[in-house]
Chain A
Amino acid sequence: MRSIKLKAAVISLLLFLLFIGAWHMATLPKESTSLAGANAEYAALMGKGAEKSGGFPPPLEVGQAFVKYLADPFYDHGPNDKGIAIQLGHSLARVGLGFFLAVLVAVPLGFVIGMSPLLLRAFDPFIQVLKPISPLAWMPLALYTLKDSNVSGIFVIFICSIWPMLINTAFGVASVRRDWINVARTLEVNPLRKAFLVILPAAAPTILTGMRISMGIAWLVIVAAEMLVGGTGIGYFVWNEWNNLALPNVIFAITMIGVVGMLLDMIFGRLQQLVTYRE
């Protein structure tokens, strides 16, 4: 077991080095002899800039961006220049708030729907129609009614997080083993105790799976939403750096999005383990 882990780590490292090496080779500066006379003159007039911004950034340049941003993640030089931690913090706050509101709605509602086959059927058409709507499609409506880009971003997270949690909670609650319900019935357990001590723990692994899926989607959506509404956040940062044509920064931001997404998923994986029971 241990040796497999070690081998896998070595292979991962090799793959990473291979990738960086290939990237480096592909972005080596080309000889600028191909420039025709007029173009060379023009380039000279424009200074060194023309040569510098051409082509994909090599790994070294991206590495410098990493060092620069990670060295001081908390600086704040006005609305267009904030540290990476501040940007990520804004995104995480939006995701956290939208997700939390979605939990408050989806889990109790899913519980009620899951307990009643009638309600499950009654709600089903709405869920089926609303679920496949891209969360960003809600943005115009949200901006119009909520009149605030920040709140609209939170709303978009809310609306995209709610469906997997709602569906999983309802499914988990509906498929609690008949035997356990019967035990609670023969013991004349009151409904509240039954809900919290029997149904909730029994359905918890399924509910947590729904939350994990929701969180994954929310993190995907926040980047797009922030590109749209602007202001703050990691998505806005990516878009801003694209407008500056600072590709090393864009690559840095993309990596950060991936790392934070992975950490969020790990947190929910851990929570899932906590509530999973072995039969």
Chain B
Amino acid sequence: MSAHFLIVEALKKAYPAANGQPNPPVFEDIHFHIDKGEFVCIVGHSGCGKTTILNVLAGLEEATAGDAFMDNREVRGPSLDRGVVFQGHALMPWMSVLGNVAFAVKSKWPEWSKEKVREHCAGYLEMVGLGDALDKKPAELSGGMKQRVGIARAFAIQPKMLLLDEPFGALDALTRGTIQDELLKIVQATHQTVFMITHDVDEAILLADKILLMSNGPHAKIAEIVEVTMPRDRTRAGIHHDPQYYKIRNHLVDFLVNRSKTYAGAEAEMFHDAKNPPLVRPGLEGDRAPVLTLATERPAPQLKQAINQ
């Protein structure tokens, strides 16, 4: 087995249609890997199966075909080794903030004393800036605070890997910004391995080491892997001043707007190898003409990779 921490091989998911016939697969031939300590974002249009991939990694859903291995073990069913932050925070409204986190902590370490659990939970809630809301009920918190509790709950069980399903999707831009900053700080401090779904290109660039670009479903595949080559000590305030930032951003937007739909059909297989999606580093590309104008006569992805190397 290779040294990668998480390996996904030939993953495929097809949902049965109403008449019992299988639908075309939402995604197929999904291959990627994540190394320890890496922050990987996955970007793609709605309906390409991002959440399904995350659920398969979480063990909540079963893939139609393919395997996922974490730490050299096959992913079978949910596990405390993988913490999940859900799209809609998923806090239990009848438990206090502390109770919600403690529920998770007690599941991981049932032998801990009450004081130890409380201390541990309070520490993680302080980390997300909720040190003085321990005994509040989730209904008394704002959307952003609820999502922070969800993040604290996932971190508190110290999972080997964190799975985030569009955690900031429902938040307003300001709140989202502050929580992104917090997540960035926490991840930089803990070197947590993270797999995150997002719709927000800026969020992906800010947080990720690698960004997986998915083509449109059905038959969605991983089209490209974009390496974010900017130094790791990014901040939300300073990232725009990095000359690489707009190159990467343009590349991502161009993919989402123009190229994500071109990977379907037999013709696409001629220039695209799903088993080995090209790794691109748009941030390090030379100052060529803006990528957007290349929409009609763009080079095939492999060629682009060749240019990079």
Which of A180, A186, A202, A278 lies at the interface centre, i.e. has the most chain B CB atoms within 10 A of its CB? Answer: A186
A186, A193, A197, A201: the one within 8 Å of B60 (CB): A186
The yes or no answer to B25 lying at the interface (CB within 8 A) is: no
Known: A197-B103, A277-B139. A185 touches B78 (CB 8 A): yes
The yes or no answer to B104 lying at the interface (CB within 8 A) is: yes
Digitize B125-153: 1 where CB-to-A-CB distance is under 8 Å, 0 elsewhere: 00000000000011100000000000000
Known: A182-B60, A277-B139. A187 touches B90 (CB 8 A): no
> A278 CA to B92 CA in the complex, in Å?
10
B60: chain A residues within 8 A (beta carbon): 182, 185-186
From 62 to 108 in chain A, residues with beta carbon under 8 angstroms from any chain B beta carbon are none
Known: A187-B103, A187-B157, A188-B78. A182 touches B86 (CB 8 A): yes
The yes or no answer to A183 lying at the interface (CB within 8 A) is: yes
Digitize B245-264: 1 where CB-to-A-CB distance is under 8 Å, 0 elsewhere: 00000000000000000000
- The A interface, classified by DSSP as helix, strand, loop or mixed, is helix
The yes or no answer to A31 lying at the interface (CB within 8 A) is: no
Known: A187-B157, A188-B107. A180 touches B79 (CB 8 A): no
B59: chain A residues within 8 A (beta carbon): 185-186
A186 touches B82 (CB 8 A): yes
Digitize B91-124: 1 where CB-to-A-CB distance is under 8 Å, 0 elsewhere: 0111000000001100110000000000000000
The yes or no answer to A228 lying at the interface (CB within 8 A) is: no
A186 touches B84 (CB 8 A): yes
A187 touches B139 (CB 8 A): no
A201: chain B residues within 8 A (beta carbon): 92, 94
> A197 CA to B107 CA in the complex, in Å?
12
From 252 to 299 in chain B, residues with beta carbon under 8 angstroms from any chain A beta carbon are none
Known: A186-B82, A278-B137. A202 touches B92 (CB 8 A): yes
The yes or no answer to A198 lying at the interface (CB within 8 A) is: yes
The yes or no answer to B6 lying at the interface (CB within 8 A) is: no
The yes or no answer to A189 lying at the interface (CB within 8 A) is: yes
B86: chain A residues within 8 A (beta carbon): 179, 182-183
Q: Could you list which residues of chain A lie within 8 angstroms of chain B, going by C-beta atoms?
A: 177, 179-180, 182-183, 185-189, 193, 197-198, 201-202, 204, 275, 277-279
Q: Could you list which residues of chain B lie within 8 angstroms of chain A, going by C-beta atoms?
A: 58-60, 78-80, 82-84, 86, 88, 90, 92-94, 103-104, 107-108, 137-139, 157
Q: Apart from A177-B90, A186-B79, A278-B93, what 12 extra A-B contacts exist at CB < 8 Å?
A: A179-B90, A182-B86, A183-B104, A186-B58, A186-B80, A193-B107, A201-B94, A202-B92, A275-B94, A277-B94, A277-B139, A279-B139
